[in-house]
A and B are shown apart, each in its own frame.
Chain A
Amino acid sequence: MGKLNLLVVDDEPGIRSGIKRILESFSVSYPFMDEDFEFDVLEASTGEEAIELLDNYLFDIVLLDNKLPGIQGVEVLEYIKNQGIDVIVVMITSYASLDLAVKATKSGAYDFVPKPFTPKELRSCLENIAKQLFLRRMTQKLQVEGKQIRFQFLSVLSHELKSPINAIEGYLKLMETKKMGNKMEDYMEMVHRSLARVQDMRNLIMDLLDFTRIESGKKQRNIKPVYFYEIAQQSIDLIQPLCIQKDIDIHLNCNDKISLKADKQELEIILNNLLSNAVKYNKQSGRIDLIIKQEKDEVFMSVIDTGIGMEKEDIDKLFEDFVRIKSEETKNISGTGLGLSLVKKIADLYDAKIQVESEPGQGSTFTIRFPVT
């Protein structure tokens, strides 16, 4: 049984004892919480008394009346805010005063309970808070242990791996039962789709391997001068078949002297990912410019495409694990959702900054600025 410490601040003894009674036999339980919560109630009859208690004890929740004999509830609230005390404050207000509500909300009041209130109203208010507190504690705990990220990663990963398996299995079953008759040609589309899903899965596994190598920090890094012109040419050669399919021209603007002390493989991963995105999200017969330039204290690399582009709010999400911008235009483009998150992770190793500019329907520009040390 978990305990939540609650402070009631009200000058009317009747209200204080009423609240105490309501909460005595009350506990909050939700299916997703491992334990139920009970309330331990302490009382204060003035704002001054409340502040003294707040200074000496840790509370989870404060039920705060505004109209008090000395300092007002709002002032207690201000104090809590200014001292940075981590507690959820619920204002008890005798009448709905918009002014007070605005002021209290600004100072961080979580909720309002109108006076007079029924036991049910009070309970449901506290139920919400208990849920909130539980989730907050849970997240803090998980973050500390680094578990949350792993958990999310693994659950999304299993989803990403399971979907293609389901699809392939479904097609195989249709073939097994000869759903479309006896002619092999009638199953060719299913065979092609299955192969495409197998390829997706292979890509995911390849990305995942790169990903774990970089995440674990165990990969032997081989840092020496890397010439951009050379790796840019290699990446372009690699992506050329896809470009031909989509009739896309790639233009490289880079002189052969630009170099950076780096791990060649890591730079290749960045380039390959940015270029393959520039092809995948480009229009038929589009264009890609790869510009690499040396300025006095940085090398910057820009990949400019003439593709579908994206909205501003999508840009921030791009670099998270497994995030893919889904829309009418991208629904048939396959991807693992790991490419850019890898790019970001590697860029971080070099203290490199990533900039994205994009215009829906016009194209996107990804720029990475590597500081030269």
Chain B
Amino acid sequence: MLKIEKKKILLVDDDSDYLFQMTIALEDMGFEVVAAQTQQEAENIISKIKPDLAILDLMMENQDTGFILCHIIKNKYPDVPIIIASAVTAETGLLFDVESEEDRQWIKADLFLDKGIRNDQLHKEINKLLKI
């Protein structure tokens, strides 16, 4: 029997409800989910396993926890794609984007997504990053 290894997604968010719902959604898409609710939990996970992709909330313990985690992950696993899912853009009008080379230098994420994104859109974006 052919056994396909599931891709592992690290999901970090301080909202336990979002974490719960997102885990169900991602598992439905056929991924394995490793979830963390704090920066520390996420760092512990990263030190033990290498995920295939990471989805991080931006504002957790601090307003920039997402950026910090992003940095840590990219340092350890430069090839792991990272999505920052945030509600920040929609509400503050502060636009973060990683389109230009300059932005990419300081924001290490591969993609910024609004948290309100539909699941099928999210699935498409993940597949693109995982090159499936």
Judge whether A166 is part of the interface by a CB distance below 8 angstroms: yes
- Count A-B pairs with CB separation below 8 Å: 50
Judge whether A155 is part of the interface by a CB distance below 8 angstroms: yes
- Which residues from A are CB-within-8-Å of B91? 155, 158-159, 162
Choice from A151, A174, A328, A332 contacting B16 with Cβ under 8 Å: A332
Bound-state Cα–Cα, A170 to B116, Å: 11
Whether A328 lies near B40 (C-beta < 8 A) is: yes
Judge whether A202 is part of the interface by a CB distance below 8 angstroms: no
- Which residues from B are CB-within-8-Å of A179? 24
Main secondary structure of the interface of A (DSSP, over half): helix
Q: How large is the interface on A (under 10, 10 to 19, 20 to 34, 35 or more residues)?
A: 20 to 34
Judge whether B92 is part of the interface by a CB distance below 8 angstroms: yes
Whether A162 lies near B87 (C-beta < 8 A) is: yes
Shortest CB distance B97–A (Å) = 8
| A159-B87, A332-B16 as given contacts; A174 in contact with B38, CB under 8 Å | no
Judge whether B115 is part of the interface by a CB distance below 8 angstroms: yes
Judge whether B15 is part of the interface by a CB distance below 8 angstroms: yes
Bound-state Cα–Cα, A28 to B87, Å: 30
Judge whether B17 is part of the interface by a CB distance below 8 angstroms: yes
- Number of chain B residues whose Cβ lies closer than 8 Å to a Cβ of chain A: 25
Which of chain B's residues 80-96 have a Cβ closer than 8 Å to chain A?
Answer: 87-88, 90-93, 95
| A159-B91, A162-B87, A174-B24 as given contacts; A328 in contact with B17, CB under 8 Å | no
Choice from A158, A170, A326 contacting B18 with Cβ under 8 Å: A170
Judge whether B14 is part of the interface by a CB distance below 8 angstroms: yes
- Which residues from A are CB-within-8-Å of B125? none
- Which residues from A are CB-within-8-Å of B105? none
| A179-B24, A331-B37 as given contacts; A171 in contact with B88, CB under 8 Å | no
| A171-B17, A174-B21, A332-B16 as given contacts; A166 in contact with B38, CB under 8 Å | no
Which of chain B's residues 42-76 have a Cβ closer than 8 Å to chain A?
Answer: 59-62
A-B contact pairs, 16 of them (CB 8 A): A155-B91, A155-B93, A159-B87, A159-B88, A163-B87, A166-B18, A166-B87, A166-B115, A167-B15, A167-B17, A167-B18, A170-B21, A171-B17, A171-B21, A174-B24, A326-B14
Which B residues fall within an 8 A CB radius of A?
Answer: 14-18, 20-21, 24, 37-38, 40-41, 59-62, 87-88, 90-93, 95, 115-116
Known: A163-B15, A328-B41. 13 other contacts (CB 8 A): A159-B59, A162-B91, A163-B18, A163-B87, A166-B18, A166-B115, A167-B15, A167-B17, A167-B18, A170-B18, A171-B17, A193-B20, A331-B16
